[in-house]
Amino acid sequence: MANMLKTDRSELITKSQQFMGQYYKLKEAGFISRRGNFFPSVHYPPITMYPRATQTDLFYSYQLPHDRLFDVYAHLPFCQQRCLFCHYPVRLGDRDSEKDIYLNALEKEMDLYLQVLGLRQVKTRSILVGGGTPTFLSPVQLKKFLGFFVKRLDMSCCEQFSYDVDPTTLIGSDGMERLRILRDHGVNRLTIGVQSFNDQTLANMNRHHTVAESLKSIEESRKLGFKLNIEFIFGYPGQTLASWLDDIEMAMTLDVDEIQLYRLKVRAYGDYQGPIRELIEKRSVNALDDDETLPMKKTAIDLLTSHGFKENIRRVFSRTVTDYSRYAWNQCCLLYDQIGFGLTAFSSLRDRFVLNTQSFDEYYAMIADGKLPVNRGLVRSREEQMRWGMILPLKNSFVLKSRFQEDTGGSIEFFRDTIEKLKQYGLLVEDDVKVQTTQLGAFFADEVVQQFHKVEYLPFPCDDYAPGALNPYRGQQS
Ligand SMILES: C[S@@+](CC[C@H](N)C(=O)[O-])C[C@H]1O[C@@H](n2cnc3c(N)ncnc32)[C@H](O)[C@@H]1O
Ligand code: SF4
C-alpha cells in the first residue's frame, strides 16, 4: 500500500535496539516474565480470577455514590466470524432470532438492576457499548436496543457516549442507516477495530474486512461527525516491524482523533480461549517473541510522539488532550462507580467487583428467574482496596495521594518499599502530590502495576521470573 507519510526509520530502529538493553536488565532483575509471557493489567484483581459469588453477597451493604452518577456499559456478544486472536465468548453468524432473545433478556436485566439499586433510571457520566460487535444487529434491532437502553438512562450529565465497533457494520446502506441511528440516540464517539492496514495480516487474523473497508468506515463515520478512535494489534504472527510501521504511518495520515495500540495477548487466562494459542502451540503459525514485539511497540510510540501524539491514557494516543475515553478514565483513573449489563459484563462499585456469567444459557436462565446474571465477584478487604486504588490509576495515568486516602481509607506508605524499589530502577517518580510512571515505567506499565499485586493474583508462577530484586514474589508469602 502506498503511504502518504514516509518517515526516516533507521533512527527509530536504532533507538529501539538500544532500548532493548533496558528490557534485558529488567528481565534479569525478575521484573518481566522470562518465558515471554504477557498479561495486560485491566482490573485488580484480574477479571478472570474472581471467586464464585451471589447477588446477595455482592450487593449486601452497597450504597449509591453521593452524586448518584455512574458510568454505564452494555455488552452485545454477537459477531460475524471468529477472529483468531479473540478470547471473547461470542455467538457467530447471523442468528437474528437469538439476537432478539438476547435483547429481551438485556432489557429485563436492566430492570432487575434498577430494582436492586432502587432507581428509576441510571444517571450517567459516560456510556460505552461494546462486544462482540454491538452494531452486528439489523438496523431494526439496533433501534430497538438503543430505544430501551437510553429510556432507562438519565443522560442529562452524560459527557460521552461511545460504541466499540468493527468496520463492516458501518459501511453500505445498512451501515449508513446504523450510523444515523447511533447519532440520533446520542452516540458521539466510535472505536473502530481496524487491527491492521495490511490485507495479508487481516487475512491471517481471520478478520472479516479489508483495509479498503476500514478506510471507508472511517470516512463514513467522520461524515456524520463522530469522534474516532482506531485500534491496532501488534505482535501478531506474520507481522514485521516494517509492516507495522506502515500501519502507524498510515494511521497518522487519517482524520481520526485517537490511535490505540494493543499487544497481542496469546493466552486468555479466562474461560474461553481463542484459537491463537493452539495455532502457536501446534506451530501452525510462528509466535513473535519479545525481541520482535517490543521494538514494534517502542518504534510506534516514538513515531507517534514525534508527530505530536500524546499518550493521554495508557496505550491510547491523541493529538488533543481532551480526546480520550471518559468511560475508561472515570473507571480506571478516577475510580468512579460503573455498572455493566449483558453477558460477561462487570460492575466496578467502589469497594466491590461484580461479574456476570460467561455462559449464554446461564445468562438467559438467571434473568428468566428474576435474578441478576451475576456469578462471580468480590467485596474487597481494606488491603485489596488499597492495591486496587494503586494499580488502576498507576497503570493508566497517576496516583494522587489525597484521592488515594479518600478512595481506599489507607495510606500510600503501605507500599513504600515497592515504590522505592521501582524508583531505583527508574520506573516510578514521586512528589508530594502524586506517584506516576516514568517513560520507561509507562512502557512496562502492566509489569509495574503487577509489583503491587498480592501473590495469589499474579499472572505467572514465581519461576517464570528471574530471582532478582524485582521478582514480584520477593518479600511476599505465596
Ligand atoms: C472487545 S474487542 C472488540 C472490537 C470489535 N469487535 C472488533 O473486533 O472490531 C476490542 C479490541 O481489543 C483488541 N483485542 C481483542 N483481542 C485481543 C488480543 N487477544 N490481543 C490483543 N488485543 C486484542 C482488538 O484491537 C479489538 O479491536
Ligand atoms: S475481535 Fe471483535 S469481531 Fe472479532 S470475534 Fe472478537 S469481538 Fe468479534
User: How far from chain centre, in Å, is Cα 462?
Assistant: 26
Looking at ligand 2, which residue's alpha carbon is closest to its atom 4? 83
How high is the pLDDT of residue 455? 95
Element (H, E) at 406: helix 401-408
Q: How far is the CA of 232 from the centre of ligand 2 (A)?
A: 13
Grid coordinates 478506510 are at which residue?
A: 215
* Cα–Cα distance for residue pair 105/97, rounded to 1 Å: 13
Cα torsion through 100, 103, 108, 110, rounded to 10? -170
> Does 477 have pLDDT greater than 60?
no
Q: What percent of the chain has pLDDT over 70?
A: 98
Q: For a ligand 1 pocket test, name from 79, 129, 231 the mutation site with the most ligand atoms within 8 angstroms of its C-beta.
A: 231
Q: Mean pLDDT lowest for which of 57-71, 244-258, 269-283?
A: 269-283
Looking at ligand 2, which residue's alpha carbon is closest to its atom 6? 86
**How many C-alpha atoms does 473 have within 13 Å on its Cβ side?**
15
* Angle at the Cα of 8 from the Cα atoms of 4 and 12, rounded to 5 degrees: 120
* Angle at the Cα of 129 from the Cα atoms of 347 and 199, rounded to 5 degrees: 125
Mean pLDDT, rounded, of the chain: 95
DSSP 8-class letter at 415: G
Q: How far is the CA of 118 from the centre of ligand 1 (A)?
A: 35
* Angle at the Cα of 392 from the Cα atoms of 287 and 72, rounded to 5 degrees: 100
Residue 183: which of 153, 209, 222 has the closest Cα?
Answer: 222
**Ligand of minimum distance to the alpha carbon of 40:** 1
* Cα–Cα distance for residue pair 105/342, rounded to 1 Å: 8
Cα torsion through 419, 425, 427, 432, rounded to 10? 40
8: pLDDT confidence band, cut at 50, 70 and 90?
confident
- Cβ(47)–Cβ(195) below 8 Å: no
Q: Looking at per-residue confidence, does 158 or 478 come out higher?
A: 158
Domain 10-35+382-465 part of CATH 3.40.50.261: no
Looking at ligand 2, which residue's alpha carbon is closest to its atom 2? 132
Q: Is the CB of 83 under 6 A from ligand 2?
A: yes
Q: What is the CA radius of gyration of the chain?
A: 22
Q: How far is the CA of 193 from the centre of ligand 1 (A)?
A: 7
* Cα–Cα distance for residue pair 408/45, rounded to 1 Å: 15
Atom of ligand 1 nearest to the CA of 193: 9
Atom of ligand 1 nearest to the CA of 133: 6
* Cα–Cα distance for residue pair 80/27, rounded to 1 Å: 40
Q: How far is the CA of 445 from the centre of ligand 1 (A)?
A: 19
Q: Is the CB of 193 under 6 A from ligand 2?
A: yes
> Does 3 have pLDDT greater than 90?
no
> Does 75 have pLDDT greater than 60?
yes
Looking at ligand 2, which residue's alpha carbon is closest to its atom 7? 132
Q: Is the CB of 131 under 6 A from ligand 2?
A: yes
Q: How many CB atoms lie within 10 A of CB 244?
A: 28
Q: Which residues line ligand 1 (CB under 6 A)?
A: 85-87, 130-131, 133, 164, 166, 193, 195, 231, 233, 262, 264-265
Q: How many CB atoms lie within 10 A of CB 288?
A: 23
Q: Is the peptide bond before 45 cis (omega within 30 degrees of 0)?
A: yes
When pLDDT is averaged across residues 405-420 and rounded to a whole number, the result is 94
* Cα–Cα distance for residue pair 388/407, rounded to 1 Å: 10
Q: How far is the CA of 465 from the centre of ligand 1 (A)?
A: 28
How high is the pLDDT of residue 476? 73
Q: Mean pLDDT lowest for which of 30-39, 57-66, 106-115, 372-381?
A: 30-39
Domain extents for the chain? 10-35+382-465, 47-333
How high is the pLDDT of residue 284? 85
**Ligand of minimum distance to the alpha carbon of 83:** 2
* This prediction's pTM: 0.96
Query: What residues pair up with 242 in beta bridges, in sequence order?
Result: none
Residue 376: which of 362, 346, 355 has the closest Cα?
Answer: 355
Fill in the amino acid letter for 331. Q
Q: How far is the CA of 165 from the centre of ligand 1 (A)?
A: 10
> Does 6 have pLDDT greater than 50?
yes
* Cα–Cα distance for residue pair 68/125, rounded to 1 Å: 10
Q: What percent of the chain has pLDDT over 90?
A: 92
* Cα–Cα distance for residue pair 463/253, rounded to 1 Å: 44
How high is the pLDDT of residue 39? 92
Q: How far is the CA of 202 from the centre of ligand 1 (A)?
A: 13
Q: How far is the CA of 477 from the centre of ligand 1 (A)?
A: 35
Atom of ligand 1 nearest to the CA of 164: 4
Q: Alpha helices, DSSP H only, in 128-266?
A: 139-151, 172-184, 199-204, 211-223, 241-253
Q: How far is the CA of 409 from the centre of ligand 1 (A)?
A: 35
Atom of ligand 1 nearest to the CA of 268: 19
Q: How many CB atoms lie within 10 A of CB 320?
A: 13
1: pLDDT confidence band, cut at 50, 70 and 90?
very low
> Does 279 have pLDDT greater than 70?
yes
How high is the pLDDT of residue 36? 84
Q: How far is the CA of 206 from the centre of ligand 1 (A)?
A: 13
* Cα–Cα distance for residue pair 349/374, rounded to 1 Å: 14
* Cα–Cα distance for residue pair 135/76, rounded to 1 Å: 8
Q: Which fold has domain 47-333?
A: TIM Barrel (3.20.20)
Segment 157-174, tens digit of pLDDT: 999 999 999 999 999 999
